[in-house]
Amino acid sequence: MSPEEARAELVRRLREWNYKQGKYALKAVYPDGHAEHCCLGVAGEIVVEEGLCEWVPFDGQLNSNEAEELVQDLGVEIFALEPKDVRDTERYDVLPRSVKDFFGFREVNGKYDTHGYKSLAGDNDNGVPFEKIAERIETDPTLLSA
């Protein structure tokens, strides 16, 4: 799958599939069994299906108080992507480098603001709906690696 095809599949899933949008984690599974994904977590489902990564419980430092509250107060299990590429061995709460490259993104958090900090992950955590994020993926060249 080319980066263009991967992004097109991500856009399609963000628009058409019934992923429940979550915040502060790629993938969160609640005690009742339902899962929530950030937009990059939806990308994670694609690379897991492609055999590039697997979902593993996230055992690193959570990057926000909100993520800590999900885990401690609500009993949510947070998942990260573990790449199968031996050159990319860390577990991530954003996209692994190999996955960033698979989608052709410039940054692991989907950064698109060349002079600031705006990113797909930040938009997601700020409540931007999947439809708007899909539109940015389709139209914003600053997301893409050179």
Q: Give the range of the structural domain holding residue 100, as residue numbers without chain letter.
A: 3-141
Whole-number Å distance between alpha carbons of 23 and 10: 17
* Type of residue numbered 8: A
Mean pLDDT of the chain: 86
Confidence of residue 94 (pLDDT cuts 50, 70, 90): confident
Regarding pTM above 0.85, the answer is yes
Q: What's the average model confidence in pLDDT over 13-31?
A: 93
Angle between helices 39-49 and 3-16 (to 10 degrees): 120
Q: What's the average model confidence in pLDDT over 10-15?
A: 97
Total domains, the chain: 1
Cross-strand bridge partners of residue 27: 37, 79
Q: Is residue 146 domain-resident?
A: no
**pLDDT the model gives residue 68:** 65
Whole-number Å distance between alpha carbons of 48 and 81: 8
- Smallest CA-to-CA distance from 120 within 64, 35, 37 is with 37
Q: Is residue 119 domain-resident?
A: yes
